Amino acid sequence: MRRLSLLALIVAGGASTVHADANPDTNVSADSQIESVTVTARRREEAVQDVPLAVSVLNAETIESTGTINVGRLSQLQPSVQFYSSNPRNSSVNIRGLGTPFGLTNDGIEPGVGIYIDQVYYNRNATATFDFLDVEQVEILRGPQGTLYGKNTTAGAVNITTRKPTFTPEARIELTRGNYDYTQSKASVSGPLIGDKLAGRLSTSYTSREGTIYNVTTGQHINELDNLGVKGQLLWQASNDFKVTFSADYTEQDPIGYGQVWAKTGSTQRPLNRQYADLAAASGNYQPPSFNPFDRLTDLDSPLTAIQQFGGASALAEWKLGSGLLTSVTAYRKWDWGPSNDRDFIGLPITTISANPSKQRQYSQELRYSATGDKIDYVAGVYGFYQTVDTAGVQEQGPLASRWLLSGANANNPSILDGLRSENDIGLKNTSVAAFGQLTWHVTDDLRLQPGLRVNYDKKEGKYIATVTNETNTALTAAQLGVLAPQSYEPEFDDTNVSGDFTVSYDVTDDVLAYVTYARSFKSGGINLSGLPLDANNQPITAVETVEPESTNHYEAGLKTQLFSHAVTLNLSAFWTDITDYQATVTNSQANVIRGYLANADKVRVRGVELELSTRPVDTLLLYANGSYTDHEYVKFPDAPCPPELAGGQAASAANPPSAPGTPNGFSPPSCNISGQWLPGISKVALSYGLEYELPLSALGEDGGVYFAYDGSYRSKFSSNPSRSIYTDVSGYALSNFRAGARFGQGWNVYGWVRNAFAKDYFEFFSTQSGSTGLVVAQLGDPRTYGLTVNKSF
C-alpha cells in the first residue's frame, strides 16, 4: 500500500511516489518509488523534476496532516522560508533571507516574495496569517521569478492552488480539537450545477484557540486565534477549449491580540537615570508580572484589538488557442485592518494609544499566452496592478510619558506630554505595469537554453500628514516637538527598469538534470510612509522620503536527481545573490520615531547551498531531510543607524569620540558602520527532517492501515535587529512534532498530534522599546500543543 504523504512532497523536485510505469526495475517495488508531481511553476503543467528551478511542493495531505494552517507555518517544513510576525500587518515572508525588510511594516515598499493564490497576486504580507482554505498544492519557488510572474518577485514566490469545482460530486469535512481550547473545522462540497457546463464549489474554515499569553491587567489571554473563512467558485466549461473559473472569498480574524512579553534589559548610552531600571523605580517601583518570559505573562494596559477583513473576487479564463493556452486573470482584493497596540510594551501609561487602522484596495489584470512545441516552449504576458492604501493613525502619550521620554526637570512634569496626540493621515497610490516573457529552446533532446525578459514601470504617490495637538490646545513646546512633531510631506517615486534571466539546463541522464541560472532583477523603489526622522532642529529629514530600487544579480546552479529506480530523490542547489541599494527598515534613537523608516544599504550578499532528500527504502517507510546553509552579510553599509547599545547618548564629535557600547551618559555616533555584519532574520543553518511509517491492516478495510509520523526542524542563531545588537540575537532551537493515526473505511482518517512535543521554550524574535531605554521584549514561539483530528472524504 502506498500513501502520498509527508515530504513525499517537500523536496524541491521530487515529491511523493512515482507513477507505477515510471522506469520500473525488477529489483525495486513500484510502491517504494517516489512519485512524480505536476507543477505550474513555469506557467504550464510539467513534472517538477523537469523544471530547472529550485522549487518545493507540498500537497494537500502534507499541509493538513502537519498542521500547516497558513503560509507562516511553512518555515517549519521549508528551511529556506523565514516568517516573522508581531501582528498580521507587521508580518514578513522571506525566502533565502530576502523579501521584506525585517521590522515594522512600511506600506511604501513592495514585498520581494510574491504570494499567489489561484494565479492572483496578493500584495499584503498579512495574507500569510490567513488559514489555508481548501488548498490542493503549494509551490515554493526560490530566487527571482519576474520573467514568469506578474509582479517582479525578486526573492521568490509562494504559488498556492486551491481545489477547483468538479463535475463529479465530492465533499470533505474535517474536525479538530486540542488543548488551549483549540477548535478547527473545515468543509467543502463540489459538484455539477448545470449538466457538464457549470460546476460549483463551496469551502469554509473556522479556527479558534485561546491566547498563549495571559494579560494580568485585563484578565484576558491574548495572541489568540479567531479565524473564519469562506470561498465560493463557479466553473463554466463553455467548450472543450474554453473555460472560466469565477471565485469569491471572504476571511475575517478578530482575536484579542497582539502583544509581547518582557525579556531582558541592556545598557544603552542614555544617562543612567533615563534607562529602564531607574525609570521603572521612579514609576512607582514598577515591575513586570514576571521576569521569566516563558511564564507567558504580560501587563499591557492599552486596548488590544487586531480585527482584519480580507476578501475579493476573480475571474480566471483559459482558452486553448492554437498550440498553446491563453490565460486571463482579472482580480479585485480588499484588506481592512483595525488594530490597537501597546507600543511601550509594558503596563505603564507611557504611550496610551497606538493605532493605525488601514484600508487597502487592489486591482490586477494579467493576460498570458503559453505554448509548447517540438523545439520552442514559451510564455509571454502583460500585467497591470493598481493599489490604494489609506491609513488613519493615532498615537497618544500618557501621564508617564514625560518621565520616560524627557530629561532634566521636564521629566518630573507629567503635564508636558500627557495627552500629546498625533493624528496621521497616510495614503498611497501604487501603479505597476509590466510585459514579461520566457522562452525555452530545446537545442537537442538533452540541452535547453532558457532566456527571459521583463520590462517594468512602477509609480508610487504618497502622503503623510501628522497633526499634533497637546492637552491644552496651545502652541507646542520644544520638548513636545522632540517627541511628536507635526509632519506633512508627499513623496513620489517612478521608475522603469529592464530585467531578465538566462538558464542552461542539461539532462545528464534520464534521471539527472543539471542547470545554471543568471538573473538580473529589480525591486521597485519605495517611499517612506511611517514618518521621517528629525534633524537637530526637530525638522523632518526630507532626504529620506524615498528609497532607491534594489538591484539584484543572482547566480544559481543545481542538480535534480532520482536514484535507484526512483526510490530516492536528491536535489542540490547553490546560489549567490548580490543586492545593491538593499531596502532596509531601520530604527532610530529618537522617541518620536516608533515605527522605523526605510533606508538603502549600499550592498548586501546572500549565498548558500540547499539539499533536499526523500527516500522510500521500503514500501511502508518514507524518510526526508532538507537543509540549507546561508552565508549573509551587509557588504557595505557605512552609515546605518546604531544598535541600542550605541544609541541614546550625547552627540559624539572630534572632541568627544564615541563611547564604548553600553556606556551610560556616553557619546553616541550619528551612525554606525555595520559592513560585514549579519542581515537580520537569517539563520546560517536551517533543517527540516522526518519520517512516516505506515502498516497496512486488512481489518481496517482495503485501503486501511495505521501510521506514525515525525517532523523535526532546526535553525541556528540569528539576529533580530536591523543593526545587529548584543541584546537581540535569538539562540538556535529545534522543534519536534508527532502524529499517529489510522486510515480506514471509505475516506476516514483519524489521528492524534502533538506540536513542539518536548515543550521547547524559544523566541521568535526580539524588539526594543523606543527611546533607548534598554528594554527588550520578545515574541514567543508556541508552547506544546496537542489534539485529535478526524476527517472524511466523500
Angle CA 72–73–78, to nearest 5: 105
Quote the distance between the C-alpha of residue 755 and its chain's center. Answer: 21
Residue-wise burial string across 187-196, b where 16 or more C-beta atoms lie within 10 A, e elsewhere: bbebebeeee
Would you place residue 87 in the very low, low, confident or very high pLDDT band (cuts 50, 70, 90)? confident
Q: Looking at the domain assignment, is residue 340 inside a domain? A: yes
In which residue are the cell numbers 497616510 written? 426
Average pLDDT score over the chain: 89
Residue 593 pLDDT exceeds 50: no
Cell triple for 733:
532551537
Tens digit of each residue's pLDDT (9 = 90 or more) over 72-86: 888 888 999 998 888
Q: Looking at the domain assignment, is residue 5 inside a domain? A: no
- CA distances 361 to 59, 490, 578, Å, are 30, 20, 33
In which residue are the cell numbers 541556528 written? 716
Query: Which is higher by pLDDT, 31 or 508?
Result: 508
Q: What is the DSSP string of 42-56?
A: TSS-EEGGG-SS-EE
Would you place residue 2 in the very low, low, confident or very high pLDDT band (cuts 50, 70, 90)? very low
Tens digit of each residue's pLDDT (9 = 90 or more) over 412-441: 999 999 999 999 999 999 999 999 999 999
**Kind plus residue range of the DSSP H or E element containing 597:** strand 597-618
Tens digit of each residue's pLDDT (9 = 90 or more) over 440-492: 999 999 999 999 999 999 999 999 999 999 999 999 998 998 888 898 999 99
Within 8 A by CB and 6+ apart from 582, the residues are 550, 600, 601, 602, 603, 604, 634
Q: Looking at the domain assignment, is residue 24 inside a domain? A: no
The answer to whether residues 100 and 156 touch, using CB atoms and an 8 Å cutoff, is: no
Q: What is d(CA 224, CA 592) in angstroms, rounded to the nearest whole number? A: 30
Averaged pLDDT, 148-176: 91
Q: What is d(CA 642, CA 645) in angstroms, rounded to the nearest whole number? A: 8
Within 8 A by CB and 6+ apart from 576, the residues are 554, 555, 556, 605, 606, 607
Averaged pLDDT, 775-791: 96
* Residue type at position 657: P
Q: Looking at the domain assignment, is residue 11 inside a domain? A: no
pLDDT score recorded for residue 104: 62
Would you place residue 541 in the very low, low, confident or very high pLDDT band (cuts 50, 70, 90)? confident
* CA-closest candidate to residue 268, choices 602, 7, 658: 658
The answer to whether residues 108 and 545 touch, using CB atoms and an 8 Å cutoff, is: no
Could you tell me what percentage of the chain is helix, strand and coil, using 3-state DSSP and rounding each to the nearest 5? Answer: 10, 55, 40
pLDDT score recorded for residue 12: 36
pLDDT score recorded for residue 59: 87
Averaged pLDDT, 94-101: 88
pTM: 0.90
The answer to whether residues 58 and 137 touch, using CB atoms and an 8 Å cutoff, is: yes
Q: Quote the percentage of the chain above a pLDDT of 90.
A: 70
Look up the CATH number of the domain holding residue 544: 2.40.170.20
Q: Looking at the domain assignment, is residue 366 inside a domain? A: yes
Query: Which is higher by pLDDT, 535 or 268?
Result: 268
Q: Looking at the domain assignment, is residue 164 inside a domain? A: yes
* Lowest-confidence segment of 171-175, 183-187, 581-585 by average pLDDT: 581-585
Averaged pLDDT, 362-387: 95
Long-range contact set of residues 276-285: C-beta below 8 Å, sequence gap at least 24:
276/769, 276/773, 276/774, 276/775, 277/774, 279/403, 279/404, 279/773, 282/403, 283/348, 283/400, 283/403, 283/404
Averaged pLDDT, 582-608: 73
Q: Quote the percentage of the chain above a pLDDT of 70.
A: 93
Would you place residue 588 in the very low, low, confident or very high pLDDT band (cuts 50, 70, 90)? low
Beta strands in 32-164 (DSSP E): 38-39, 46-47, 55-59, 81-85, 91-95, 113-117, 120-122, 135-142, 156-162
Q: What is d(CA 8, CA 540) in angstroms, rounded to the nearest whole number? A: 54
Q: Looking at the domain assignment, is residue 639 inside a domain? A: yes
**Kind plus residue range of the DSSP H or E element containing 326:** strand 324-340
* Residue type at position 137: Q
pLDDT score recorded for residue 682: 94
375 half-sphere exposure, CB direction, 13 A CA radius: 2
Domain that holds residue 586: 30-793
Query: Which is higher by pLDDT, 124 or 560?
Result: 560
pLDDT score recorded for residue 596: 62
Through-space distance between the first and last CA atoms of the chain, rounded to whole angstroms: 21
Residue 597 pLDDT exceeds 80: no
Structural domains counted in the chain: 1
Q: Looking at the domain assignment, is residue 22 inside a domain? A: no
